[in-house]
């Protein structure tokens, strides 16, 4: 993976100063792709621009990195912001039964990205409460920064700086990309969802879901497929196996 393959995504950022500082952190570490999912209009402060943020403060804190903000994409939902990504990693310190079972440190995340094709998104949550359960469900993996349990919450821009630094160390300056050619191209989020849905549809045809749980298993399959970086051809082969099993079972009945 190259630095240009890494996308920083902010989910519901509240403070323009943090966003500006994050732009500076990104530019320090050779990252340039920023996407923002603003607070819903009814929750954003009145009188603010479309982003819901103080853009003057963003530019002040960004110093010479305001161009990253100028090129940033605004998206109505996190799902849309990461739709073209092969891997989505949510940065969160909170764990729980409905959160991700495993979480990598910033350095482990960077090392993991180094050996994968892109694009990949690093998703940071709101300054007040981080990523909610729904936002983390939209991610394939979780990552965190080890910190003192007595005061574990980091400022958004500080947390992003640590991740940007580790990514820069692992991936280095981007080189020339000589066309797609024979590159390994993993599924994006839409194709991952479709593949997981196909597998659970075949299982449903086999009578697998006597009890609720299909939605949770779809997320399970989607996240496994993302971590495996399945190509489209591999996904077609795999889902075809499940579909054939369902057809064979139906013919025997």
Give pLDDT, residue 75. 95
Cβ-based neighbours of 54, under 8 Å, separated by 6 or more? 16, 17, 48
Neighbours of 185 (CB within 10 A): 14
| Joined tokens for residue 93 | 């310190």
Instruction: Give the per-residue pLDDT at 102.
Output: 84
Task: Name which CATH class applies to 3-171.
Answer: alpha beta
Sheet with strand 103-105: strands edge to edge:
73-74, 33-37, 6-11, 120-124, 87-91, 141-144, 103-105
Res 253: pLDDT: 61
User: 139, 89 in Cβ contact below 8 A?
Assistant: yes
Question: ∠131-192-139 over CA atoms, to 5°?
Answer: 10
Task: Give the residue range(s) of CATH 3.40.1280.10 domains in the chain.
Answer: 3-171
How confident is the model at residue 173, as a pLDDT? 64
- Predicted model pTM: 0.80
Q: Provide block-wise average pLDDT over 10 residues at a time, the chain (253 residues).
A: 95 94 96 92 51 90 95 95 96 77 92 92 94 93 91 91 95 50 79 96 91 91 95 94 91 67
């Amino acid at each position: 993976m190259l630095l240009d393959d890494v996308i920083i995504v902010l989910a519901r950022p509240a403070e323009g100063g943090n966003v500006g500082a994050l732009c500076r952190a990104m530019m320090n570490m050779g990252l340039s792709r920023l996407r923002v999912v603003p607070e819903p209009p009814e929750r954003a402060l009145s009188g603010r621009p479309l982003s819901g943020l103080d853009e003057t403060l963003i530019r002040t804190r960004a110093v010479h990195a305001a161009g990253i903000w100028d090129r940033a994409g605004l998206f109505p939902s996190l799902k849309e912001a990461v739709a073209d990504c092969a891997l989505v990693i949510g940065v969160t310190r909170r764990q729980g039964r409905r959160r991700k079972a495993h979480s990598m440190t910033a350095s482990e995340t960077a090392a993991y990205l180094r050996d994968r094709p892109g694009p990949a998104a690093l998703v940071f949550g709101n300054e007040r409460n981080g990523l909610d359960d729904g936002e983390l469900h939209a991610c394939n993996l979780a990552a965190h920064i080890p910190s003192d349990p007595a005061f574990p919450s980091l400022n958004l821009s500080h947390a992003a700086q640590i991740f940007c630094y580790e990514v820069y160390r692992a991936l280095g300056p981007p080189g020339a990309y000589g066309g797609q050619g024979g590159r390994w191209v993993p599924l994006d989020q839409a194709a991952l969802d479709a593949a997981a849905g196909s597998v659970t549809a075949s299982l449903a045809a086999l009578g697998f879901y006597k009890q609720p749980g299909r939605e949770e298993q779809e997320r399970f399959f989607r996240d496994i497929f993302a971590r495996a970086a399945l190509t489209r051809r591999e996904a077609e082969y795999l889902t075809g196996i499940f579909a054939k099993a369902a057809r064979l079972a139906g013919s025997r009945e």
